Amino acid sequence: MKRLLPTLAMLSLLAGCPEKSSHTPAAPATTAATPVSAEAPAASDANADLGRYHWRLRDASDASGKRIDALFVQADKPLQLDFADGRIAVANACNRMGGGYSLEGESLTIARMASTMMACADPKLMALDGEIGKRLEGASKLTLASGDRPTLTLATASGDTLVFVGEPTADTRYDGPGERIFLEVAAHVKPCSHPLIPGMQCLQVRELKYDDRGLRVGAPGPFENFYDEIEGYTHEDGVRNVLRVDRYAIKNPPADGSSHAYVLDMVVESDTSGK
């Protein structure tokens, strides 16, 4: 069965603030967060800080101090905010959501957000999209704190307090930005030769090309052994996928290591027919 995930046309609408891979290496031990500055940071500096991290929801309470359970639907996939080029993207909800934002001093204003229109079987997950929009849209007071794991706190006009923990983006970790490419991964792995890994099984991968309208162009080449890992991607045997991936050049790679790192941005298409 062929399953198309959000269309390329919709992806282009949200591409102003793309979602990066939800997987990042474990962060160092947490240290106490300290304010970035006693004064409100300049908007340009704060925008740069916002864009260097994936912001994952850690705590959320309403005006009475009660935890907002409706925002914690998936324990292993906390809500995530990403900021880039004046746009915010929300990940780990039912749908991908995005919209414009502006930052003036400590005031963050998020415009009405658009989203994809997928349905989710879990009613709590379906309701999460509405909860996000209701609590994020509009003006909030923003506070950034530094540390090994920086925090972003939003105090909304309705009295909610949302606390997010920052994880470095791939662009930050690899001194990006990376090159955006599309990779088709065949349904089955095949044996491949590796001097250090006996019996290695390799993904079968080929690159796809799309034009500005999201239409595939050119004839793809043959599938080839893929010796690297795609960070954030776990292959399921029998499932063919088209992946949107960011490829980064690794400076000074080890002699037996790859010169590139690959980070999953999203699964664009899945085919469970096993072909």
Residue 82, CA distances (Å) to 19, 250, 260 in order: 7, 23, 24
Q: Which residues pair with 248 in a beta bridge?
A: 261
- Per-position pLDDT tens, the chain of length 275: 665 554 444 444 344 444 443 333 333 333 333 333 334 444 547 778 899 999 999 999 999 999 999 999 998 999 999 999 999 999 999 998 999 999 999 999 999 999 988 889 999 999 999 999 999 999 999 999 988 899 999 999 999 999 999 999 999 999 988 999 999 999 999 999 888 788 899 999 999 999 999 899 999 999 999 999 999 999 999 999 999 999 999 988 887 788 999 999 999 999 999 77
Phi-psi map region of 214: left, alpha, beta (phi>0 left; psi -120 to 50 alpha): left
Q: What pLDDT score does 147 carry?
A: 85
Q: What pLDDT score does 11 carry?
A: 47
Determine the Cα–Cα distance for residues 234 and 105; give it in Å rounded to an integer.
41
Residue 69 DSSP one-character state: G
131-141 as b/e, with b when 16 or more CB fall inside 10 Å? bbbebbbeebe
Answer yes or no: are the C-beta atoms of 226 and 205 closer than 8 Å. yes
Task: Output the pTM of the full model.
Answer: 0.74
Closest to 151 in 3D by CA, of 141, 163, 140, 168: 163
Q: What is the amino acid identity at position 249?
A: A
Q: What is the amino acid identity at position 203?
A: L
Answer yes or no: are the C-beta atoms of 62 and 71 closer than 8 Å. no
Q: Where are the beta strands (DSSP E) in 105-158?
A: 107-110, 114-115, 138-146, 151-156
Domains, the chain: 34-168 (2.40.128.270), 179-271 (no CATH)
Residue owning tokens 């963050």:
108
